[in-house]
């Protein structure tokens, strides 16, 4: 698995939610044994045994082995023991509670998708802890389908019951083939090509301990790219100024994959 992400510093936590506008691309040249995704996730338990690692994740992915197609799907994931025996994609283990009003449900195909140097499309997701029940709610925050999508019950988790220790936004890829050199990520192009050619994540927000949503700024995040010959992230732009209305956090990411 390889990453190109920005994340909140653990020392700045705890965290009670996150938000992102995810630019949607039909990742080119994906093979049947590969996964490519844009998402964000909240986690806790990083500083202990792997079985203490808890995480919730939402975004889009191309995952032919799971969906039996090469379309872009809205997905969710969770684990409460470091991916050992708990958790699943979408609704495969029935633990995510879908809201009755939700028009977008885990596993649904997302259309339309962006075109390289052409029309750009996105959807906006927010994960936020309900301070009364302790459950982690997922929302869509744009368009006619805006509203609650459902929640992960507090009872699923161990270290994620009260808050998260970090929030991460970006791209990840994976492959079930040991000989694979690395799938394409985002639009399949490096962040240096700019918006409209490289995939973006923008309107990046956090949630504080009283449930207020705030803009994530450049000095609040660090980046991680494990194969810089294959993938990249742009500089993080963050401001409380007028771009995006009430402030914004923004970066580009992606790449063609690895050649060796």
Whole-model pTM: value is 0.94
Share of the chain above pLDDT 90, in %: 81
11/5 Cα distance (integer angstroms): 18
Examine residue 148 and state whether it is found in any structural domain, yes or no: yes
111/96 Cα distance (integer angstroms): 23
Examine residue 260 and state whether it is found in any structural domain, yes or no: no
Please state the rounded mean pLDDT for residues 226-247: 76
State the residue range of the domain holding 243: 2-254
170/85 Cα distance (integer angstroms): 25
CATH number, position 216: 2.60.120
118/70 Cα distance (integer angstroms): 20
pLDDT digits (tens, 9 = 90+) for 198-230: 999 999 999 999 999 999 999 999 999 999 999
Examine residue 244 and state whether it is found in any structural domain, yes or no: yes
Of the candidates 26, 197, 53, the one whose C-alpha atom is nearest the C-alpha of residue 118 is 197
Examine residue 122 and state whether it is found in any structural domain, yes or no: yes
161/98 Cα distance (integer angstroms): 19
C-alpha torsion sign, points 224, 149, 138, 247: positive
Please state the rounded mean pLDDT for residues 108-131: 97
Please state the rounded mean pLDDT for residues 99-112: 96
Examine residue 259 and state whether it is found in any structural domain, yes or no: no
What's the structural domain count of the chain?
1
pLDDT of 177 reads 85
pLDDT digits (tens, 9 = 90+) for 53-69: 999 999 999 999 999 99
Q: What are phi and psi of 219, to 5 degrees?
A: -80, 0
């Amino acid at each position: 698995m390889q990453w190109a992400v920005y994340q909140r510093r653990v020392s700045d936590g705890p965290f009670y939610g996150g938000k992102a506008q995810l630019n949607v691309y039909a990742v080119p040249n994906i093979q049947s044994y590969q996964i490519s995704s844009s998402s964000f996730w909240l986690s806790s338990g990083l500083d202990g045994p792997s079985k203490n690692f808890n995480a919730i994740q939402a975004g889009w992915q191309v995952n032919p082995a799971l969906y039996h197609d090469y379309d872009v799907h809205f997905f969710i994931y969770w684990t409460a023991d470091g991916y050992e025996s708990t958790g699943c994609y979408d609704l495969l283990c029935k633990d995510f509670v879908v809201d009755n009003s939700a028009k977008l449900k885990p596993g649904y195909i997302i259309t339309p998708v962006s075109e390289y140097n052409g029309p750009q499309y996105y959807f906006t997701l927010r994960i936020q802890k309900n301070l009364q029940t302790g459950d982690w709610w997922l929302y869509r925050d744009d368009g006619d389908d805006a509203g609650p999508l459902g929640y992960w019950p507090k009872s699923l988790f161990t270290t994620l019951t009260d808050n998260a220790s970090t929030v991460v936004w970006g791209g990840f890829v994976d492959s079930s083939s040991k000989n694979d050199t690395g799938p394409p990520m985002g639009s399949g192009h490096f962040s240096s090509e700019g918006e409209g050619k490289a995939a973006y994540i923008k309107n990046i927000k956090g949630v504080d301990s009283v449930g207020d949503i705030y803009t994530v700024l450049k000095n609040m995040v660090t980046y991680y790219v494990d194969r810089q010959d294959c993938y990249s992230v742009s500089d993080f732009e963050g401001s409380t100024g007028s771009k995006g209305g009430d402030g914004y956090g923004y970066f580009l990411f992606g790449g063609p994959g690895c050649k060796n």
